[in-house]
Every structure is written in C-alpha cells, then in structure tokens.
Structure 1
Amino acid sequence: MDTLELFIAAARKCLSAGRKSLSVPQSLDMAAQLSAVDLSLKPSLLYDTNNASAEQVHQYLRLCQSSQLVSDSLVTLDLNGSSLIVNPPVVCSILERVLQNGGPAVIDICHSLEKPAIADAVKGGLESIAQDLLFLLRGCDAADDKGVYVAQRSDEWNLSAVFGLLLGYPVTYWFDQTESFDNCLSMTPLLVTTAHATWQADAVSHKCCLYSFSIPVDLQTETHSYLDDWKLGLQERFQQQNVLQDLAVRQSAVTLPSVCL
C-alpha cells in the first residue's frame, strides 16, 4: 500500500462512529492535519470530526506510527473526553513562553462585559494550567499505549483558553466559568484568520485548513504584534518542509448572533 492508502485505511479502521467510517475526504483531511502536527506546522490537532472516542484517536495515531507515516514522538492527550494529538516539544515551547509572560494575548469574553477586553490579570490562571500541562507532557512516554489522560484537573480548566494554547493561536479567549459559560461575543464584529495549505501525497493533492481563529475587531491594535509574530513563525516553519504547499493566510470579517466556543 502507498502512503495515501495507508492513511485512509488507518482512519477508516480506527475512527468509525457506530457503523459509519470516515469518508475518503475526511480521511485525507486527518492525514493532512496529522502531517502538519508532525512537521511542527501546528502544535496539535483537536479531533472533532465525529464521535470517535479518545481511545480510537489513540489507536489511529499508533497505527499511523507503526506504518511509519508519522514520527513516534507524537502523543494523544485526553482532556476528559476532548481528544488531541500533540507534538510535545512544540507544545512545551508554547507553554514555557506562557510562564515567561510571552504567551498569546488573553481576551476576556465574560458575558457580564459590555465587550471583549484584553485581560492580562487572567494569565495567572493560564500559568497554573501551563505548569500542569508541562509536567504531564515532559513526563509522558511516547511509547505508552494509553496516551496522556487528564481527568479531574481539566474539569477546573477553561477549555476555551486551554485549546487556544494547545492549538497555537496568537490569541486565546477566556471567561469565568464559575460565573457563566456564556460570552459577550454575540453581534461583536470579529476578524477571522484562516491558514490553508495543500497536502501532497503520492499523486493526490488535498487542500486543508490548518488554523482558524477570531479576534474582536475592536482589539486589532492591541493584538497586532501577536498576530504578526504568529504569521511570521508559521511562514518560517512552512519553508522548512515540502510535504504541504501553497500556504495562504486570509482574513474576513464576520458578525454572528451567537458564538459557541
């Protein structure tokens, strides 16, 4: 079997939900996303294609590794049901920057606010999360057949902010979940940034979205440097590989009646 067939077979074997397996396009997208993580183009991917379990996602990664499609250094991270495939060195680098006050911009979107606001004071909570994740990832064994599982501790975390860190966004949304899980992004003009690329395997090309995140339009000035640094870093990493091609970073403005995180 060639590379393409191995990726498709792994996805269709491991990531079924009930009796329904992933389609070929979905399998190709998983292959592209996984390759991007392996190449350090993105620090991790959050699996949200269907209702496959964390164990199934782990089996998929292990099968791809045993077929030598990706490196053995990648691990799965189970945040009490939310499954990610992680490149530990890249994620640890992000977490270390958080502890050095060099992490992403934190935007407070608590529903009690009139509009989103930069929230430096909230970083204390993210620093504690970063320390916990660093401890787990530095101590993990890529050969472990179970992956990294975070149970009770992750129940107390604001997963919106955690996903922003783990997915390598230049900004991350935070809200006080002890107060409410609602947010103040309703009808707030947002600038959505996407990064697309074309994954090449054998004779097949597949276009995929590597990143998609938003920033409130009113906070463009405050977050401009974070976005520029993120874009420059992505372009530099992209030039160091030849598996994905045609990187395109685009922005569009949207205003939505509700935003679910």
Structure 2
Amino acid sequence: MSTQELFVAAARKYLCTGRKSLSAPQSLDLAAQVSAVDLGLKPALLYDSNGACAEQLQQYLSSLQSLQLVSESLLTLDLSGNSIVVNPVTVRSHLEKVLSDGNVAVIDVCHSLDKPSISDPLRGELQRMTQDLLLLLGPTQRLQEDGKLLNAGEKCEEWNLCTVFGLLLGYPVTYWFDQTKSFENCLSMTPLSVTTASATWHVNTAAHKCRLYSFSVPAALHEKTQSNLENWRHRLQERFEQQHVLKDLTISQSIVTLSSVCL
C-alpha cells in the first residue's frame, strides 16, 4: 500500500462511528493536519470530522506511529469530551511564550457588551489557564511513560474552553466570555477579519490541499491586534521553511459578517 492508502485505511478502521467511516478526502485532510502537527507547523489539532471519541483517535494515532508515518511524541488530549491531537513540545513552547511575551491577544465578546474589546484584565485568568495546561502536559518523558491518551479531568470544567482552544491551536488571538453569566456573545453582525493559512501536502506522487489555520478577529480590532498577527505569521513562515513535507504556504484574509457566531 502507498503512504496515502495507509493513512486512509487507518482513518477508516479506527475512526468509524456506527456504520459510517470517513471518506477518502476527509481521511487525507486529517492525515495532512496530523502531519502538520507532527512537523510543529501547528501545536495541536481539534478533531471534529465526526463523532469518534478520544480513545478512537488515539488508536488511529498509535496505528500511524506503528507504521512510522508520524513520530512517537504525538498524543491525544481528552478535554471535556473534545479530542485533540497534541505535539507536546510545540504546545509547551507556545504556552511558555504566552506567559513570557504575552503574544496572544484576548478579546472579550461577552453578550452584555455593545461590541468586542481587547481585555487586559483577563491576563490573570489567561495566565492561570496557561499554567494549568503546562502542568497538565508536564515533561514529555512522563507523558510517554504514562501513555498517549491524556485526560484533562475535572480541572477543565473551570476553564473557558473557547479561550483554551485558541491557546492550544496556536492562534495569535483568542476569544473570552463570562460563561458563568451566558454562553452567548456579541459577535452577531460584527464584521470579522478571517485569516486562513493553507498549504499543499505532498505524499508519494499525490498532493492534497489543506487548511492549517483559520481564525477571526473583529475587523474594528484588526489594527490593535496587528502585531500579534504579524508575529504569528513570521513564526509560521519560519517553521514552514524548516520542513519539506508541506509546500506552497498561502496566508489570506477576508471579511465576513454573520447573523450568529457560535464559539
């Protein structure tokens, strides 16, 4: 079997829900995303292709590792029922930079606000969540000794998962809202500047276009978050030039306005 066929076969074997398995294009897109995490182009991947659980995702990952298609360092994080493929080294490096450099902008989108705003007072909460994540991940050696499926446990019930996902996925901006009051937000009919980073995954003689990143910033706050975006772009381009599996990096921006935004 070709490398491409091995990736597709693993996805269809381990990530099946009921009688439904991933299509070949879905399997290839997942393979490209996992490869990007393995290469350190992105710290983590939130799995949302179907309803497969974290245990299934870890079985899929283990099969790829046994075939030497990805490195042994990757693991699966179960975060309140959400399954995330994690590169521990890249995630730890990113989180440590968040603590030392404050390179992630926190945008308050509480439903009670007239419009989104940059929220400096949330730095304390962001710092606590970041430190908790670092403690959870711990030394890479311990993770490998304890097994590859990591459960965040009850601690994550205190976290704003929207903010945590932004941290784990390596976004230069992340949203926050007071979930003790409401899970709604003030982004309805707010023009959003959406940044998308795409690349072409080359395996054998085949090439598959995949989206590495997609995140938004309220257009009115684009200027205030410009330095965060530029630093993110520069780091991604640097990492991209250090590997040869994915090619043709493209970073684009567009403006969208939606009647409702689910975070």
TM category (shorter chain) comes to over 0.9
What are the Cα deviations for residues 127-165 of structure 1, in whole angstroms up to 9, with x where unaligned? 111111111212442354451101211111101100000
Q: What's the counterpart of residue 187 of structure 2?
A: 185
Paired letter, 1:172? T
Q: Check the 8 A contact 2:43/2:170 in 1, yes or no.
A: yes
Shift of 1:74: 0.9
* 2:256 maps to 1:254: yes
Q: For residue 175 of structure 1, what is the amino acid of its counterpart?
A: F
Question: How far 1:68 moved relative to its partner?
Answer: 0.3
Given the alignment of the two structures, is residue 52 of structure 1 paired with residue 52 of structure 2, yes or no? yes
Q: How big is each residue's C-alpha offset from its partner over 1:193-243, in whole Å with a ceiling of 9 and x where there is no partner? A: 000100011111110100000000110111000000101111111111110
1:74 equivalent in structure 2: 74
Give yes or no for contact 1:46–1:84 (8 Å, CA) kept in 2.
yes
User: Aligned letter for 1:197?
Assistant: A
Counting only pairs closer than 5 Å after superposition, residues 163-178 of structure 1 correspond to structure 2 as 163-178=165-180
State the partner residue of 2:102.
Answer: 102
Superimposed CA distance per residue, residues 81-133 of structure 1 (whole angstroms, 9 cap, x where no aligned partner): 00000011111112112222423100000000000000011121111111111
Matched with 1:62 is 62
The number of residue pairs the alignment matches comes to 261
From 195, 199, 202, the counterpart of 2:201: 199
The aligned counterpart of 1:160 is 162
Aligned letter for 2:164? V
Contact 1:161 1:172 in 2 (8 A): yes
Note the 1:230-241 alignment, pairs <5 A.
230-241=232-243
Note closer, same or farther for the CA distance 1:143–1:205 as it changes in structure 2 (3 Å cut).
Answer: farther
User: Secondary structure of 1:100's partner?
Assistant: helix
Deviation string, structure 1 residues 52-103 (Cα, Å, up to 9, x no partner): 0111011111111111001001111110200000011111112112222423
Structure 1 gap segments, 5+ residues each: none
Structure 2: which 5+ residue stretches go unaligned? none
1:221 counterpart residue number? 223
Q: Distance in 1 between the 2:64 and 2:148 partners?
A: 15
- Aligned position for 2:41: 41
Please give the alpha-carbon distance, in whole angstroms, between the structure 2 residues aligned to 1:145 and 1:134. Answer: 17
Give yes or no for contact 1:94–1:103 (8 Å, CA) kept in 2.
Answer: no
Correspondence for 2:129: 129
Verify the 8 A CA contact 2:195 2:214 in the aligned structure 1. Answer: yes
Q: Give yes or no for contact 1:15–1:22 (8 Å, CA) kept in 2.
A: yes
Identity across aligned pairs (percent)? 62
1:255 is displaced (CA, Å) by 0.6
SS at structure 2 position matched to 1:124: helix
Distance in 2 between the 1:204 and 1:143 partners? 36
Question: Structure 2 matches for 1:137-148, cutoff 5 A?
Answer: 137-139=137-139, 140-142=142-144, 144-145=146-147, 147-148=149-150
CA distance in 2, matches of 1:98, 1:199: 29
> 1:25-75: CA deviations, max 9, x gaps?
000001000000000000000000000011101111111111100100111
SS at match of 1:221: coil
For 2:62 and 2:108, locate their aligned partners in 1 and report how far apart those are by CA, in whole Å: 38
TM-score of the two chains, using structure 2 as the length reference = 0.97
* Deviation (angstroms), 1:245: 0.7
Runs of 4+ in 1 over 3 A off after TM superposition: 143-146
Report the equivalent of 2:28: 28
Give TM-score scaled by structure 1 length.
Answer: 0.97
1:245–1:257 distance in 2 versus 1, CA, 3 Å? same
